[in-house]
Structure 1
């Protein structure tokens, strides 16, 4: 696995920049990292990584367990206070839970984070756990239904798609993941027209996902809602109306939250 820092990008000189790289080393989904792996993934020299990791642990941003480090509870507490995601999650979660109860599919709420999707929420039963995703985790936008949808509807989506393909090409999670920039662009045009995205086997073999936009009350699309299940259980005709109904409910809930209180 490559380090978090690209080889042609200079290491930040500031302490804050290096601390950010240490925290970002966990973005690949690793739960615990030894100091040597933390240094390799972040690009921060081992001696500096050790000093900074000790300070981050004192602040509660990292936790140390014997010879390994993991993200600290303080990060979770602060993350819950980010206004945009906190309101969106609080409004969406009951509706996502109802959608899971009706479909028994794994339900995701995601936003675009550069060339990746960031999962804000996940509702899944024991039998339908989608192992590649977790709350706070990221996946390449080109592979996921939520990512394709958000790329298609974002003003700079085509630019982000080009960035994804820069260098070694589009990242692939399975042999069905789209690997051609031209193919991805054609898919995004279709998604933009139909306002839903459907991927089959691109993230996990044997599984498919269907995603729809979750507009803000002003119509801006900043999040996507998806259902993931074995391929045989993902019916566009059955799931699409349920997803769109749930997304509309989230939008109404956001509007209610933004409305001034009645005196």
Structure 2
């Protein structure tokens, strides 16, 4: 599938800021399931710094904006070919050992309810266990936008029984780790939503490491493994660690953010 992606994030400040430093994880991953043809990142008024590939295989760019400015726009546009690899992350080069992803984070720290859920799931082997864990999260957390926020933890989402892809992913990574399966949070894009309509936001899913197979993606929000509709950007222990945009602004006052994402299929 050939996809065209347009992604714009606008930051607006109540008072002009004096300086902004950003770390962008917005370049598609390099693996057998996707090939990037064009990709452009632009930060309004920004100066691009050095880029590097981190130990997880993600490409990260640094940008600096000198003020005073009252708004900053980050724009991404590009074309990418994707293909279905049954969720398996083949050909992705990274140096971090999978066992690193057995540790939890503030967003995925388990409580008694998450421990009970993990203990209730069984599988015929490690791959089947990963599938069953994903389905258990799908069953326990209904997809419903607007009921959670960026700071909602896995335990809070499970207690609420509702949430969005971030919540499904946090819960799945938490219970997979409890079962001894290394798991991580993945950020990216999706061509369609649960109801098959055009997707208008970035997406997230989990990757679970299965011995003998490697990293395998699981999207509990959509009850499936990532296929050709998915574009992978990067990964981390949780949403904050895998955030596509991270930054520090020097100034006072409020900050508002508007995000617009468009993913379109192109003719081959």
> What TM-score range do you get, normalising by the shorter chain?
under 0.3
**TM-score, scaled relative to structure 1:** 0.23
The structure with the larger Rg is 1
Q: Does 1 or 2 have the higher relative contact order (CA < 8 Å, sep 6+)? A: 2
TM-score normalised by L of structure 2: 0.23
Judging by fraction of residues, say which structure has more helix.
1
